Chain A
Amino acid sequence: MKQEPGLTIIAKTVTRISVWLIILYGIYIILHGHLSPGGGFAGGVVIALAFLNVMLTFGHETVTRWLNIDFLHDLEPACGAMYLAVGILGIAVSGSFLANFLNKGTLFNLVSSGNILVLNIIIGIKVAMGLFTVVWALALFRFDDGGEK
C-alpha cells in the first residue's frame, strides 16, 4: 500500500480552511501589540505555527513547492537590517537610538504610538520567518543518508 505523505484526508480538508484563519489571527496579534497583550514576538510565533501546521498535514515536499523558501529565508536578515535602520533613523532625527519620532496619534487608535507599530510588524515577520526556517531545516534530516547544516 502506497504511503501518502502527511495525515489523513480529514486533517487535510480542515487545514485547507483553517490555516488562513490562523494567519489572520497572528496578524491581528501583531497589529494590536500596542493596545493589548501580544506584540511582535507572539504574533510571529503564531504565523510560524500556521506554516508548520501545513507542513505537518501535507508533508515536507508540498510545502517546499507551495512556498518560495529562498525568499522567506532571505526575508529574515532583511527585517533585521530594517530594524537597525529604524534605530539609526532615530539617531539621525532626535539623537538617541530607537527614539520614537513618528507621530504619536491619539490614545487607543490602531495607528498610534509612533514607531512601536512599525517595529512590531518588523519583529513579527522576522520571528515568523526565522522560526519556520529552523523547523523546515530540522525536518530535512533523514536518518539514513544525513542532511545539510
Chain B
Amino acid sequence: MTVYLLCFALLLVGLYGLLVKRDMIRIIIASGIMGYASNLLLILFAYKRGGLYPILEKSKAVGERVMVDPLPQALVLTSIVIELGITAMLVALAIRLFEKNKTFDITKIKRLSG
C-alpha cells in the first residue's frame, strides 16, 4: 500500500514543479517526472506476488511458477517513446523561445495575455 502512496507522491512532486518553477528547463524536467510516476504506476499494477519475469528461456521449464503481467510493460515502453518525443519538442521550443526573448524565465514572457 505504501508503494502506491509513494508513487502518487512522485506524481505530486512533478505537478508541484510544473506549477511553481519559473525556469523553462525545470518545467520540462518536472513534466518528465510526472511521466515517470505514471509509468511506475502501470508497472506496479502488473506485479503478481512471487512472479517471474515473463520471458521463456531454453534452459528453464515453464513449470508452475506464475509470471508477472507483460502487457503493462509494453504500455510503458510505448509511453516512454511518446514522452521522449514530447520532451524533444519541448526542448526545441524552449531553445527557440530563448532566442526570441533572451531569457528562460516564463514570468517575463508575456506577449500573449487577456
A and B touch in the complex (CB under 8 A): yes
Q: Which residues of A contact B (CB under 8 A)?
A: 36-37, 41, 107-108, 131, 134, 138, 141, 143, 146-147
Known: A134-B88, A138-B92. A37 touches B55 (CB 8 A): yes
Cα-based distance from A146 to B81 in the complex (angstroms): 29
Q: Does the CB pair A141–B99 fall under 8 Å?
A: yes
Minimum C-beta distance from A145 to chain B (A): 10
Known: A37-B55, A107-B56, A134-B88. A141 touches B81 (CB 8 A): no
Q: Does the CB pair A41–B95 fall under 8 Å?
A: no
Q: Does the CB pair A108–B95 fall under 8 Å?
A: no
Q: Does B98 contact A (CB under 8 A)?
A: yes
How many residues on B have C-beta within 8 angstroms of the other chain's C-beta atoms?
Answer: 13
Q: Does the CB pair A108–B92 fall under 8 Å?
A: no
**Residues of chain A within 8 A of B92, CB atoms compared:** 134, 138
**Residues of chain B within 8 A of A36, CB atoms compared:** 55
Q: Does the CB pair B99–A108 fall under 8 Å?
A: no
Q: Does B77 contact A (CB under 8 A)?
A: yes
Q: Does B58 contact A (CB under 8 A)?
A: yes
Checking B58, B84, B91 against A138 with a beta-carbon cut-off of 8 angstroms, the contacting residue is B91
Cα-based distance from A138 to B91 in the complex (angstroms): 9
Checking B55, B56, B88, B95 against A141 with a beta-carbon cut-off of 8 angstroms, the contacting residue is B95
Which residues in chain B, 56-114, are within 8 Å of chain A measured between CB atoms? 56-58, 77, 81, 84, 88, 91-92, 95, 98-99
